[in-house]
Amino acid sequence: VPELPEVETIVRGLSPGLTGTRIGSVAVIRPDLVAGDAVAFTDALSGRPVGAVTRRAKNIVIAVDGDVLVVNLGMTGRLMLSDADAPLPSHLGVRFDLEDGRRLLYQDVRRFGRLEVMDRVAWQVRADAMGVEPLSDAFDGSLLHRLTRGSRSPIKPWLMDQRRVVGVGNIYASEALHRAGINPRRAAGSLSRQRADRLVRAVREVLSEAIEFRGTTLLDYRDASGGRGGFAERLRVYDREGEPCRRCTHPLRRIVQGGRSTFYCTRCQR
Ligand SMILES: [Zn+2]
């Protein structure tokens, strides 16, 4: 499942090649991937100029005239630019033929992704209701400390709740808690201000490093040109049950929280 670093990597990969182009025609091959009516979707985008490509939470946001095309990759979605003569991939959901001959392709094996066209104002309203961006200045120890007050939820599922902080999924939540030395089972409301500071720093650090390494490819994720992410080898706890902690050599433990695997060190995470 792509998390914030993977989506950010795709946005950075698409932006230089896509901004300033114009969409020629649109072919919706899998209408279930498109929000609303597929014909209206096609009409709204055909022949229109493409502006900035940005990210909000785990959404790729492509400005198209006065509207935005919002792409959520779901579990296995891929959005990539390809040349006109490149063979089309399997499981193609939507094909955008650009006027310069290239193509923007949306491929999705499991089809949990979603593409939606909406006007900018409606999008802004929706975006404003989302949780805080963990790489923005707004996300600091003071905010995290305030938001967690009174919460009895364990900190790891708390961190993954998109209504509070966006884009931090299972992999990076485990990684950040290990870096911060915080037990994933600790009640969110019990975080001291000092631990909140440490956790914010760890979240920002792990996300930034993952972006630098173009994301984590475990199975499906590919960047905008079809490449794999390089962060998997740098994971310190995720999917390393029984292996030695990189800080203290104690064997790492796996537990299940909210139906998801959590990996942590019982010795150096308190
Ligand atoms: Zn340890």
- Between the CA atoms of 154, 160, 162 and 167, what dihedral angle is there, to the nearest 10 degrees? 160
Structure tokens at 75: 């579990």
Task: Give the whole-angstrom CA distance, residue 239 versus residue 14.
Answer: 30
Q: Output the CA 51–ligand 1 centroid distance in Å.
A: 47
- Output the pTM of the full model: 0.94
Q: Answer whether 56's CB lies under 8 Å from 75's CB.
A: no
Q: Over the stretch 11-35, which tens digit does the pLDDT of each residue have?
A: 999 999 999 999 999 999 999 999 9
Phi, psi of 106 (to 5 degrees): -115, 120
Task: Give the whole-angstrom CA distance, residue 51 versus residue 261.
Answer: 39
* Per-residue CA distances from 42 to 31, 37, 62, 89, 115 (Å): 11, 9, 15, 20, 11
Known catalytic residues are 2-3, 58, 260
Please list all protein residues whose beta carbon sits less than 5 angstroms from ligand 1, which is an ion.
Answer: 245, 247-248, 250, 265, 267-268
Q: Over the stretch 163-179, which tens digit does the pLDDT of each residue have?
A: 999 999 999 999 999 99
Average pLDDT over residues 150-165: 97
- Three-class DSSP category at 111: coil
Q: Output the CA 170–ligand 1 centroid distance in Å.
A: 19
Q: Output the CA 169–ligand 1 centroid distance in Å.
A: 22
Looking at the DSSP assignment, which residues form a beta bridge with residue 264?
253
Instruction: Say whether pLDDT at 219 is over 80.
Output: no
Q: 181 exposed, middle or buried (CB, 10 Å; 0-12, 13-18, 19+)?
A: middle
Structure tokens at 187: 């009640």
DSSP at 227: P
pLDDT at position 220 is 78
Q: Output the CA 268–ligand 1 centroid distance in Å.
A: 4
Q: Over the stretch 233-262, which tens digit does the pLDDT of each residue have?
A: 899 999 999 999 999 999 999 999 999 999
Task: Give the whole-angstrom CA distance, residue 254 versus residue 237.
Answer: 9
